Structure 1
């Protein structure tokens, strides 16, 4: 409570100091009227801070009736109206405040926000032009100025603003990205390319910028250019897996899935390359093999998964991946064993348990089915299907291998 009181007192004191220059007479004294106006202003802001905007607005309106030149009151009332989505009223009062005190940057920024709400982007841009002139070292003002120019349909002027900022701060990632996007949007691909080239030349050790350039080349279907940049990335950082995979994937549409997977061998054999990155690269093809029943693709994927077994031993996700691919190639008993290994290494992934249950049924391994479903009941007490499978396995495990669980039986 003490902190809250101090905070309110400090805030109101700040308002008081803000308005003191308005109320002082030429001889440096304050009239009784000015003191009462100040008290009214403080009272209004007290209500605003307490969330009673209606009462605060009423007092600020009363204050403005007494003194139309009270820009602080106009500004505070405009803020209240903006919060109430009374945009037209907020706009009029914000313009009034900024007109009375044109040197106040906060009034101009607030007015620009109201202009934006009303889709008056050109007017907002003019305000930020004034703000840049008044504070040329504030980078954010340049970005806002350029943004409003773009929204107003003036991209050429926006580029001029970016050029002006670049002249002050030099080549900068955010600046280069925005210039690149504007050139690209206007169809000037040569200047768009030049922006990224300049960024890469300014920071030659930063491979993120080279990736931007390579991505642009791929977007423009400049495959030789993209390859050259990816090779440069690998020369700069031999452990950049993203560049390795991108370089391998460029030729895959023409060469075919099998050739692409074979091109991944050096990457999969490299223990320094992240395991998750390796798996991520082949998952789309695993899904494709499952959807199309492509046995050749599945076996090529299984070959890569076997490499992962050697390079990244005792990894649950590798065991599960091998289980998936063995299942796709029809080797169900081996797949079941790999799922068992995966669960022993990490028993937290329920989808692996589900695969194990299904394979146990398909291979008529009911003893294993009962054993693992009972274990799963402790780990996944909220999975009703586990209890149902356990009950079915105990009751029906002596049925013929061709039988299936009740949910798979024809009605």
Structure 2
């Protein structure tokens, strides 16, 4: 009756409550309201409650419940305490005051009023439940346990709350008490699946594997059609190293459902532990072939493989599983994405790029996929693809500095230094919070400005790159080489090239750069020594041509001619090589 009145009252007073902002009562306000309620209660207890006072009390109660529903605990408590002052022996009023105090965080008053509600109406289960909740919120688990015990004993048909009591025991770590309570519940209600699972958890915490397994067998026998219980039992055997039993129960599951992927996953893991790799791979592949194995489960398994790669023993299996995944889920971008990652790690770069592009076709919103594509384009030195893919990616992600970097590199490789500078300069502005990437931009800009013959900007870019990393090999090599070509700052160039050679004594490119700096300084003997070291491993036409130039300067024209001819035969020498050969003279 009171609930119905509260909704009626709410309809007439809703606008007032909607405009009021909920405010938590101060401690002083709560104390004063409680004091007034006590005084009013004392007056009312001295005389019977009149019909008028009963109506007023009910009106305050309905109003209080309305504000409680609106979460205005200040007004709710004010109305409810007025109702209490008129009718303190009303259990419902005590209950609602307790609930309001609980919700507003006043556990002390909540406890007192909830206890009063239980005493006034000891057959109402909801009053016990509120009191138990109040104790639980205060972590007074013993008190909460006593409340549930009283509820079960004193309130008819309340055996269902044995489950709450058992859960409370579990939360306290009182496992034996929890087991006893679950047993009591099963005697009253019969076998219950959820109870068996919880009893299994308790037995496992108690290291009582046999009883845990027995509960599992009970679940299977009482639910023979439920394959999930068979699977759970197989997992329990497997996780406790009872491998033959795990195989037996998993095979039992497959007899019920031959395509069950979970059973095959268990078998795959058990066979792997036993060292039976062929059977393990067979089972996991069959599991992946099952439409019942969710795409997200497959992705999680493949990610686990990725964490173990590179590993020659696992690579082919990972690739096969990735291929099955894309075949079974051809419209899932995540299937192609994870397959591309596996192909990348296993050095199947071209296949990986094609796979990433399939993922992008299905979902082009993932920046990481575009990044992988342009990285592979760069690694494969496929300039046209790098330019095309970086430009497509920039349409979607114009604020990604790395995409501008690769776009700029693509233009440089495509012999378009002006376009390269434009992209690199734009990207450099976006990379100010990434010093390492910024250094890469500066290194590439050094090369780009050199091609544009803007030596000042080229030098400044290299200096900026080396300021971040004094051992930046590309910057050291190109900067020193370009200085040698220009015949400028040769001592600085020699210092940088020598530093590189010291770090990489067998790198033919760096040895050639160092030799050419020495050549420009007219140290032909030193240049010859450096080039002869480079030629032990190099087949580069430029190095052979340089070696010919050095030999010519040292007066050995015949040997110089032989080196020029060799450089021409390899291909890629300077435009002067034909004239050198024809006239047997050095031209620079």
CA RMSD of aligned residues (A): 3.9
What corresponds to 2:370 in structure 1? 353
Task: State how far apart, in whole Å, the 1-side matches of 2:86 and 2:405 are.
Answer: 79
Q: Which runs of 5+ in 2 are unaligned?
A: 13-47, 417-436, 444-471, 476-588
- Identify if the C-alpha distance between structure 1 residues 347 and 286 changes in structure 2 by more than 3 Å, giving closer, same or farther: same
What corresponds to 1:16 in structure 2? none
Task: State how far apart, in whole Å, the 1-side matches of 2:442 and 2:249 are.
Answer: 53
1:179 aligns with 2:199: yes
The answer as to whether partners of 2:165 and 2:181 remain within 8 angstroms in 1 is yes
What corresponds to 1:94 in structure 2? 114
Task: State how far apart, in whole Å, the 2-side matches of 1:225 and 1:100 are.
Answer: 57
- Identify if the C-alpha distance between structure 1 residues 107 and 359 changes in structure 2 by more than 3 Å, giving closer, same or farther: same
Task: State how far apart, in whole Å, the 2-side matches of 1:100 and 1:265 are.
Answer: 66
Please identify, of 280-289 and 345-354, the stretch whose mean Cα deviation from structure 2 is larger: 345-354
TM-score scaled by structure 2?
0.56
1:146 aligns with 2:166: yes
SS in 2 for 1:255: coil
1:211 Cα deviation after fit: 1.9
Alignment partner of 2:383 out of 351, 366, 380: 366
The answer as to whether partners of 1:125 and 1:146 remain within 8 angstroms in 2 is no
Aligned pair count reads 385
The answer as to whether partners of 1:295 and 1:328 remain within 8 angstroms in 2 is no
The answer as to whether partners of 1:214 and 1:227 remain within 8 angstroms in 2 is yes
What corresponds to 1:375 in structure 2? 392
Task: State how far apart, in whole Å, the 2-side matches of 1:342 and 1:335 are.
Answer: 11
1:330 Cα deviation after fit: 3.8
The answer as to whether partners of 2:6 and 2:65 remain within 8 angstroms in 1 is no
Task: State how far apart, in whole Å, the 1-side matches of 2:97 and 2:142 are.
Answer: 24
- Identify if the C-alpha distance between structure 1 residues 115 and 207 changes in structure 2 by more than 3 Å, giving closer, same or farther: same
- Identify if the C-alpha distance between structure 1 residues 237 and 260 changes in structure 2 by more than 3 Å, giving closer, same or farther: closer
Task: State how far apart, in whole Å, the 1-side matches of 2:325 and 2:59 are.
Answer: 76
Q: Could you give the per-residue CA deviations for residues 45-96 of structure 1, whole angstroms, max 9, x where no partner exists?
A: 4554555433443454455455542333322222222122221221111111
Please identify, of 257-266 and 390-399, the stretch whose mean Cα deviation from structure 2 is larger: 257-266
- Identify if the C-alpha distance between structure 1 residues 136 and 369 changes in structure 2 by more than 3 Å, giving closer, same or farther: farther
1:295 Cα deviation after fit: 4.3
The answer as to whether partners of 2:387 and 2:410 remain within 8 angstroms in 1 is yes
1:6 Cα deviation after fit: 8.8
Larger RCO, structures 1/2 (Cα 8 Å, 6+ apart):
1
What corresponds to 2:7 in structure 1? 7
1:115-264 alignment to 2 at 5 Å?
A: 115-133=135-153, 140-151=160-171, 154-255=174-275, 260-261=280-281, 264=284
1:45-64 alignment to 2 at 5 Å?
A: 45-49=65-69, 51-64=71-84
Task: State how far apart, in whole Å, the 1-side matches of 2:345 and 2:370 are.
Answer: 17
1:73 aligns with 2:90: no
SS in 1 for 2:381: coil
What corresponds to 1:20 in structure 2? none
Q: Could you give the per-residue CA deviations for residues 164-202 of structure 1, whole angstroms, max 9, x where no partner exists?
A: 322343322211112222233333332222111101111
Task: State how far apart, in whole Å, the 1-side matches of 2:330 and 2:52 are.
Answer: 86
- Identify if the C-alpha distance between structure 1 residues 119 and 227 changes in structure 2 by more than 3 Å, giving closer, same or farther: same
Q: Could you give the per-residue CA deviations for residues 233-283 of structure 1, whole angstroms, max 9, x where no partner exists?
A: 111111111211221111324528788446645555x46564835554343
1:358 Cα deviation after fit: 0.8
What corresponds to 2:440 in structure 1? 406
Task: State how far apart, in whole Å, the 2-side matches of 1:273 and 1:31 are.
Answer: 68
The answer as to whether partners of 2:6 and 2:66 remain within 8 angstroms in 1 is no
- Identify if the C-alpha distance between structure 1 residues 408 and 288 changes in structure 2 by more than 3 Å, giving closer, same or farther: farther
Please identify, of 224-233 and 137-146, the stretch whose mean Cα deviation from structure 2 is larger: 137-146
1:360 Cα deviation after fit: 1.0
Please identify, of 205-214 and 340-349, the stretch whose mean Cα deviation from structure 2 is larger: 340-349
SS in 2 for 1:102: coil
The answer as to whether partners of 2:135 and 2:144 remain within 8 angstroms in 1 is yes
Task: State how far apart, in whole Å, the 1-side matches of 2:395 and 2:273 are.
Answer: 47
1:393 Cα deviation after fit: 2.0
